[in-house]
Amino acid sequence: MAEGSWGPEDGSLEVSTGLCPDAWLEQELPEDVPSGALLTAELWHTGLDAAEPAEAHVAVLIGDRVGWDATAAIPSGPTLWEVAVVVDAPVAAGETVTLHLHNHGDNAWKLGPVTIE
């Protein structure tokens, strides 16, 4: 991922895809997460645009498993997703929560705080 294309923004993580169309951002889990725990977050993008129509893909992985994913048409207006994932198997501390994003065009995506209950 290109330097300067992601970082904190108003309490969320912002990814701008003008410099690089792909993002793979990981955060290690500070403690074990039991099966049945609920992972929640808000994920949104501004209006999506590109030189030619395309489709964006975004996913949240827990460990090595896809917990949630979605696609968005390009072009399209702003969209907000309320991400809610029930963890289907225990995940050990040190494993990662990952945001994966593939998008054409110079667009902005934001991931709000991820909570696990």
Q: Is the pLDDT of residue 16 over 70?
A: yes
pTM for the model:
0.88
pLDDT for residue 44? 96
Q: Judge whether 101 lies within some domain.
A: yes
- Give the Cα separation of 48 and 32 in Å (integer): 36
Number of domains in the chain: 1
Q: Is the pLDDT of residue 1 over 70?
A: no
Q: Judge whether 15 lies within some domain.
A: yes
Q: Judge whether 103 lies within some domain.
A: yes
List the domain range (segments joined by +) for residue 82.
11-116
pLDDT band at residue 104 using 50, 70 and 90 as cut-offs:
confident
Q: Judge whether 2 lies within some domain.
A: no
Q: Judge whether 58 lies within some domain.
A: yes
Which CATH number do you get for residue 82? 2.60.120
Per DSSP (E only), the strands in the chain are 6-9, 12-16, 22-28, 38-45, 54-62, 65-74, 79-86, 96-102, 108-111, 115-116
Q: Is the pLDDT of residue 96 over 90?
A: yes
Q: Judge whether 4 lies within some domain.
A: no
Q: Judge whether 17 lies within some domain.
A: yes
DSSP 76: B
Q: Is the pLDDT of residue 3 over 80?
A: no
Q: How far is CA 104 from CA 16, 74, 83, 101, 107, in A?
A: 11, 8, 22, 10, 8
51-75 confidence digits (pLDDT tens): 899 999 999 999 889 999 999 999 9
C-alpha triplet 104, 11, 63: angle, nearest 5° = 65
Sign of the CA dihedral running 55, 75, 24, 30 = negative
pLDDT for residue 20? 82
Q: Is the pLDDT of residue 76 over 80?
A: yes
